[in-house]
Chains A and B, each alone.
Chain A
């Protein structure tokens, strides 16, 4: 049973470009969470999604960032017009349902903005 998959593992973008990060949850999991981790800092919650619904996006910057989890396919975190401050590791996690509190994390996507 494959774990949470994230791709790409490493992404380099120039300032002003768009970054698209993909996350495929564990098989059977319908809850997806995105986190950002800066060097030497903890994980910061960004957004919580279920299939076709954004449940909680209170941790997401109001501009340039968006997330979706379509009926078919992976969850996508999109960052438009990237800036150097967006450089970080972005982790996706999934859980079986809301009552299964433990989350299973992917390996992360390391975004570098040059």
Chain B
């Protein structure tokens, strides 16, 4: 069965630096991969989606890469700020037309220190 591993349960970096989070998966390559942000006591918030035929996607200070050969996605936050502190989840799906099961990683807790 498909498994997701998000390296580092926690990541602590200095404000202004680039934070890089890793998501690795086994078995099949998903049709697409998503990244979410979750703050304590709240539901996840969708950030970015990248499809299997895309290498890179950007949104403001966020960048996601997708390497189907390495079976890995990297999530970058440039010029990090304390407000970026949260847990970041990656998720993937087969992209079936009729059935759907999105699998979430356990998350990486990111802390940005001033």
Residues of A that sit less than 8 Å from B by CB: 4, 31, 33, 35, 40-45, 48, 55-56, 58-59, 91, 93, 98, 101-108
The B contact surface, by secondary structure, is loop
Complex Cα gap A31–B99 (Å): 11
Residues of B that sit less than 8 Å from A by CB: 32, 34, 36, 41-46, 49, 89, 91, 93, 95, 97-107
Closest 8 CB pairs of A and B: A105-B43, A42-B106, A43-B104, A102-B46, A56-B99, A42-B104, A105-B44, A48-B100
Instruction: Count contacts between A and B, CB distance < 8 Å.
Output: 61
Minimum CB–CB distance from A31 to chain B (whole Å) comes to 8
8 chain-A/chain-B pairs, Cβ below 8 angstroms: A33-B100, A42-B105, A43-B89, A48-B99, A98-B97, A101-B34, A101-B95, A108-B41
Contact of B100 with A55 in the complex, beta carbons under 8 Å: yes
Minimum CB–CB distance from B53 to chain A (whole Å) comes to 14
Complex Cα gap A91–B95 (Å): 21
